[in-house]
Chains A and B, each alone.
Chain A
Amino acid sequence: MLSAYREIVKFLLLVAIVLLLPLLIQEGYLLNVMVFVGIHSILALALNLLLGYAGQISLGHAGFFGLGAYISGILTATYSINPWAAMLAAATLVTLLAFIVGFPILKLKGHYLAMATLGLGIIIYIIFNEAVDHTGGPSGLSGIPNLSLGGFSFDSDLRNYYLIWTFTLVAIGLSLNLVNSRIGRALRAIHDSEVAARVMGVNARLLKVQIFALSAGLSAVAGSLYAHTMTFVAPASFGFNFSVELVTMVIIGGLASIYGSLLGAALLTVLPEMLRAFQDYDIIVYGLLLIVITMFMPGGLVKGLPGVLTALRRKAAKEESGDA
């Protein structure tokens, strides 16, 4: 009971921060960064459900994100369909696709799974590049409309901020519910030992595929939001590098930590801005970060930082008592 109460307080606190933040940061640019943090948070969250909770790696999530963006983009820019309908179509189609390919793909484990999802991502990326007549090819697709409600168009940073963070908060709420439910427990059981989970009567295979589909669908929603905010999409944003970036967000924030995904997404969106001083060399910092976090903070920053702090405190206390 108490923990459920805590969860609700935490969530409400986050809602309050999100609502009030624009009052603090007047500057347009930071608000713009926050819009991307919101989109990346949804993606990191989606991937964390799969990676952190079900323990299944995907190196192809940028592909699902891109599919969402392109389906939304093409339906609205080329066929003038209502953006909300396009978003729904994108989410449905991608979920369905992931559900179908999920069965054979999630039969695989470890690096085979990594390789298969990577391959899937690359195939999707090639299609974005090559289907020039539909996608505009490597130079991208422009003229995608903003989302709007009635006559109210989401065409400024502030409006997009509230739009996207509404989606992000809903996604967080849903994920919190999911991981604290029976399904969440079953997922963690699969993560620890799939055989044991099966013995306990969990339909591991179906559950994994369902989570995979949910994760892909959520990524597609993020893709739609991205397309309608940017009003432009190009394949380079959905390549293998971005898939790795997403995995990095989840790892840095913390596997199986909802709020960690938020932190990871924020860090990886803001970090490049701070690394501008390093000009060409930010990629090195990036690689180093990936290695160091995995080596020394396998739980990510969310679990690692408090741990480091406690360790330091304990060490300090020990030294004190030792000296005495």
Chain B
Amino acid sequence: MKRFLPTTMLTFLLLLSASLAFASPATIKIGALFSVTGPPSFLGEPERNSAKMVVDEINAKGGVKGKKLELIVYDTQGDATKAVQAANRLIKEDKVVAIIGPSTTGESMAVIPVVEKEGIPLISCAAGSKITDPVKKWVFKTAQNDGLAVAKIYEYLNKKKLAKVAILTVSDGFGSSGREQLKAHAEKFGIQVVVDETYGPKDTDMTSQLTKIRGSQAQAIICWGTNPGPAVVAKNVKQLGIKLPLFMSHGVSSKKFIELAGDASDGIMLPSGKVIVSDVLPAGDKQKKSLLAFVKDYQNHYKAEGDHFGGHAWDAVMLLKGAVERGADTPAAIRDQLEKTTNFAGIGGIFSYSAADHAGLGKDAFVLVEIRNKDWTLVK
């Protein structure tokens, strides 16, 4: 009894102390769920940085329709359980009007039942096509579907008359979605996947998988992953003297990849959002203005290169801003206005949502780039 009472009291005191909430009615509260730490922090960190940056900028210019935006970011660590807990907190305690994120497809799928039930608009920053297919009433997304990136590679292969590919994908959410799309779209383009290999996110040597690929009929290699794995693959390809064309995914479209892969990066091609090539885009490109502004701001704020992952969060905030500008201030009105977004030129592409399409992007969201002399060049 002596121990029991304090124990129980402490337990419940803890719970009550966690419930301290702050309210400031003059602001519009936006929740954000990003995997700032944990394995997907390569997504969550630039996303949080970009979202904070753009919210600060909007507030510095006087906010939206006289109201300041308040961004509440919770770290989900790439874990569905934590994402759901944080989403509940955002909705029930912080009383946000909309949520941006989560960073990964898995976390997004976990949070969807919560927002659908509570009626809060969610703008996911993850790429998985199942997030908005089938369309869910409250769920939108800004990241380009992986299928679009796959199509970009396959179109190029068709042009070069290469029909047999080997795929090497990382066994996490990003890689498994890529693997699914690579296999699903192959037939449509008359392409045959002759080798289908995976590697672990922390693996440090992929020569075994590549040796198997070397011994196959493959005419090209497509590797789907995020740093650092693909850099190891690039080096291993060089080590084994494999001469096949090597494609990467948009998961490595940042200077970091070139830095990690070093000389081995030369000649690698990949589909990418337009961020990395914003300065060489033709002047008529509708996204060019947003892209240049984003890249410059990010460089000023964080002394680092802005990438398209951060762009997903930038887009999400701007889409919300657009909805609020058009007069929406309740979750339901924001949702309705989001759905009416047309021709918004953001970082990820030109968004046009509709009742039947909550992904909102076309094929032109991606360009194919080649790495030459440690820099990007557009493949025409």
The answer on direct contact between A and B (beta carbons under 8 Å) is yes
A interface residues, Cβ below 8 angstroms from B:
6, 9-10, 13-14, 17, 21, 25, 27-30, 32-34, 36-37, 129-130, 132, 137-140, 142, 155, 157, 226, 230-234, 236-237, 257, 259-260, 262-263, 266-267, 270, 272-274, 276, 279-280, 282-283, 301-303, 305-306
Determine chain B's interface SS by DSSP, over half rule. helix
**Can you report 26 A-B residue pairs in the complex whose CB atoms are below 8 A from each other?**
A6-B1, A10-B4, A13-B8, A17-B8, A25-B19, A29-B88, A29-B89, A30-B93, A33-B85, A129-B171, A130-B171, A137-B171, A138-B171, A138-B175, A139-B109, A140-B109, A142-B113, A232-B110, A259-B8, A262-B8, A266-B15, A270-B18, A273-B18, A273-B89, A280-B36, A280-B75
Given A27-B19, A27-B93, A33-B15, decide whether A234 and B6 contact each other with a Cβ distance below 8 A.
no
Q: Are A32 and B88 in contact (CB under 8 A)?
A: yes
B interface residues, Cβ below 8 angstroms from A:
1-4, 6-8, 10-12, 14-19, 36-39, 73-75, 78-82, 84-85, 88-89, 91-93, 104-107, 109-110, 112-113, 117, 128, 130, 171-173, 175-177, 180, 198
Nearest chain A CB to B143 CB, angstrom units: 13
Q: Are B6 and A28 in contact (CB under 8 A)?
A: no
A172 to B37, CA, bound (A): 34
Most buried by A among B11, B19, B92, B113: B11
Nearest chain A CB to B361 CB, angstrom units: 20
A260 to B3, CA, bound (A): 9
For A27, the chain B residues whose CB sits under 8 A away are 19, 92-93
For B180, the chain A residues whose CB sits under 8 A away are 132
A233 to B88, CA, bound (A): 17
A302 to B9, CA, bound (A): 12
For A302, the chain B residues whose CB sits under 8 A away are 3, 7
For A272, the chain B residues whose CB sits under 8 A away are 82
Nearest chain B CB to A285 CB, angstrom units: 13
Closest to B19 in A: A30
A273 to B306, CA, bound (A): 30
Closest to A262 in B: B11
For B12, the chain A residues whose CB sits under 8 A away are 17, 21, 266
Q: What 9 A-B pairs have minimum CB-CB distances, sorted nearest first?
A: A29-B92, A28-B92, A234-B106, A29-B93, A138-B173, A140-B106, A137-B176, A32-B88, A232-B110
Q: Are A32 and B18 in contact (CB under 8 A)?
A: no
A282 to B86, CA, bound (A): 15
Given A236-B79, A236-B80, decide whether A231 and B3 contact each other with a Cβ distance below 8 A.
no
A10 to B19, CA, bound (A): 27
For A142, the chain B residues whose CB sits under 8 A away are 109-110, 112-113
A230 to B128, CA, bound (A): 20
Q: Are B15 and A233 in contact (CB under 8 A)?
A: no
Q: Are A274 and B15 in contact (CB under 8 A)?
A: no
A120 to B128, CA, bound (A): 30
A231 to B36, CA, bound (A): 24
A71 to B187, CA, bound (A): 33
Q: Are B173 and A25 in contact (CB under 8 A)?
A: no
A138 to B126, CA, bound (A): 13
Q: Are B106 and A267 in contact (CB under 8 A)?
A: no
Closest to B1 in A: A6
Most buried by B among A9, A14, A137, A157: A137
Q: Are A303 and B110 in contact (CB under 8 A)?
A: no
For A155, the chain B residues whose CB sits under 8 A away are 117
For B75, the chain A residues whose CB sits under 8 A away are 276, 279-280, 282
For B15, the chain A residues whose CB sits under 8 A away are 25, 30, 33-34, 37, 266, 270
A259 contact from B3, B80, B91, Cβ within 8 A: B3
For B10, the chain A residues whose CB sits under 8 A away are 263, 301, 305
Q: Are B14 and A267 in contact (CB under 8 A)?
A: yes
For A266, the chain B residues whose CB sits under 8 A away are 11-12, 14-15
Q: Are A232 and B11 in contact (CB under 8 A)?
A: no
Q: Are B82 and A139 in contact (CB under 8 A)?
A: no
For A259, the chain B residues whose CB sits under 8 A away are 3-4, 7-8
Nearest chain B CB to A259 CB, angstrom units: 5
For B175, the chain A residues whose CB sits under 8 A away are 138
Q: Are A279 and B36 in contact (CB under 8 A)?
A: yes
Q: Are B84 and A230 in contact (CB under 8 A)?
A: yes
Q: Are B81 and A237 in contact (CB under 8 A)?
A: yes
For B171, the chain A residues whose CB sits under 8 A away are 129-130, 137-138
For B81, the chain A residues whose CB sits under 8 A away are 36, 226, 230, 237
For A130, the chain B residues whose CB sits under 8 A away are 171, 198
For A30, the chain B residues whose CB sits under 8 A away are 15-16, 18-19, 93
For B173, the chain A residues whose CB sits under 8 A away are 137-139
A138 to B123, CA, bound (A): 21
Closest to A155 in B: B117
Q: Are B11 and A263 in contact (CB under 8 A)?
A: yes
Q: Are B92 and A270 in contact (CB under 8 A)?
A: no
Nearest chain B CB to A127 CB, angstrom units: 11
Q: Are B2 and A306 in contact (CB under 8 A)?
A: yes
Given A36-B81, A230-B84, decide whether A274 and B17 contact each other with a Cβ distance below 8 A.
yes
Closest to A14 in B: B8
Closest to B2 in A: A306
A160 to B179, CA, bound (A): 37
For A14, the chain B residues whose CB sits under 8 A away are 8
A280 contact from B37, B84, B107, B110, Cβ within 8 A: B37
Q: Known pairs A14-B8, A139-B106; list 8 more (Cβ under 8 Å).
A: A28-B92, A29-B89, A30-B93, A139-B176, A140-B110, A273-B18, A282-B75, A305-B10
A306 to B171, CA, bound (A): 48
A308 to B233, CA, bound (A): 55
For A273, the chain B residues whose CB sits under 8 A away are 18, 85, 89
Given A14-B8, A32-B92, decide whether A139 and B177 contact each other with a Cβ distance below 8 A.
yes
For A32, the chain B residues whose CB sits under 8 A away are 85, 88-89, 92
Nearest chain A CB to B32 CB, angstrom units: 12
Nearest chain B CB to A49 CB, angstrom units: 18
Nearest chain A CB to B129 CB, angstrom units: 11
Nearest chain B CB to A208 CB, angstrom units: 27
For B39, the chain A residues whose CB sits under 8 A away are 236
For A305, the chain B residues whose CB sits under 8 A away are 6, 10
Closest to B108 in A: A139
Nearest chain A CB to B214 CB, angstrom units: 24
For A6, the chain B residues whose CB sits under 8 A away are 1
Q: Are B80 and A237 in contact (CB under 8 A)?
A: yes
